[in-house]
Amino acid sequence: MQLEINNLSKTYTNGVRALQNVSFTINQGMFGLLGPNGAGKSSLMRTIATLQEADSGSIRLTGLPGEGDLDVLTQKDAVRRVLGYLPQEFGVYPRVTAEAMLDHIASLKGIANGSERKAIVQGLLQKVNLYDVRKKNLGTYSGGMKQRFGIAQALIGSPRLIIVDEPTAGLDPAERNRFHNLLAEIGENTIVILSTHIVEDVTNLCSDMAIICLGQVVATGNPADLVKEVSGKIWQKSVEKAEIDTYRQTHRIISTQLKGGKTRLHAYSDMPLAGFDPVSPDLEDVYFTKITERMEVATV
């Protein structure tokens, strides 16, 4: 299976160009979509999820077992039958139990047989570790429990394409780890798109990724390969806070971090920088390099 996105563009009525000729292909497995807030991630996810129209371009879901190919922008009902979606913000009915809510959603998804629905609901509740609290009202759930309920509802109907938008935002480390394990398991047999601004989530989970900034794709590929591309080009120095602006004027500073009372600068350069030490890059350095480049172009 593949999700093929070609020259996708979207401009809102207020003039914001959310997507500008976005193109890349997503294969089966976990795919990370990285970008800062306002980059266009949610606009892209909503378009793939058939919740908004694109101005131009195409999205095709190809190689579906028993289904063939689907045009996401025109065959919306067919796409929704194979789609699971966990948006960044989703509401729950606070006085309804998790078990009853999942049963209702399963019914809406066309699972008419009551015993079949019951088996599916119980299986999903066990999968997301909510079975013991299935009789509790959703309004009593913690943030992490609600996220796990969200992924349970997204898995109803054995979807072939799953979209999760900022799924670990606000979770504590233990909940985040459990959520990672669940997503990794799901991604073995489906296309899972993980939209996030947390670089570590993509590093830990995804074999392929894209970085989007100001509505444009600025990088695609395997995370490890992207890190190799900046190897030998990232330099580090600790400075006083008052010196940061001076260094920004003379160096391509991609990130700053306060550590031990001083600010640690990361700079990008093809050549060694006087006073800077070389540093082994990680995906965060790739991310900030690509975002910085896009921002510089946008301000010209």
- Same domain? 70 vs 201: yes
Is residue 97 one of the residues assigned to a domain? no
Is residue 246 one of the residues assigned to a domain? yes
Q: Which of 200, 222, 244 is the last residue of a domain?
A: 222
Q: Which pLDDT belongs to residue 158?
A: 84
Handedness of CA 241, 246, 250, 254 (dihedral sign): positive
Is residue 128 one of the residues assigned to a domain? no
Domain assignment of residue 156, given as a range: 2-92+141-222
d(CA 47, CA 43): 6
d(CA 241, CA 232): 26
Nearest-CA neighbor of 168 among 204, 137, 132, 135? 204
Tens-place pLDDT, residues 70-106: 999 999 999 998 999 988 777 778 999 999 999 999 9
Q: What are phi and psi of 170, to 5 degrees?
A: 85, 0
Mean pLDDT of 276-282: 96
Q: At what angle do helices 98-108 and 143-154 cross, to 10 degrees?
A: 30
146 band by pLDDT with thresholds 50, 70 and 90: confident
Handedness of CA 36, 42, 43, 49 (dihedral sign): positive
Instruction: Decide if pLDDT at 6 tops 70.
Output: yes
Q: Which of 222, 250, 282 is the last residue of a domain?
A: 222
Tens-place pLDDT, residues 244-276: 999 999 999 999 998 877 899 999 999 999 999
Is residue 252 one of the residues assigned to a domain? yes
Nearest-CA neighbor of 117 among 156, 148, 79, 146? 156
196 band by pLDDT with thresholds 50, 70 and 90: confident
Domain count within the chain: 2
CATH number at residue 23: 3.40.50.300
The whole-chain average pLDDT of the chain stands at 90
d(CA 268, CA 290): 10
- Same domain? 166 vs 275: no
- Same domain? 47 vs 186: yes
Number of neighbouring beta carbons within 10 Å of residue 37: 8
Q: Which pLDDT belongs to residue 38?
A: 84
Instruction: Decide if pLDDT at 300 tops 60.
Output: no
Output DSSP code: residue 101: H
d(CA 255, CA 50): 36
**With 0-12 CB in 10 A as exposed, 13-18 as middle and 19+ as buried, what is 261?**
exposed
Task: Give the burial string for 208-228 (b: 16+ CB within 10 Å, else e).
Answer: bbbbbbbbbbbbbbebeebbe
- Same domain? 79 vs 158: yes
Is residue 130 one of the residues assigned to a domain? no
- Same domain? 80 vs 156: yes
Three-state SS at 204: helix
**With 0-12 CB in 10 A as exposed, 13-18 as middle and 19+ as buried, what is 78?**
middle
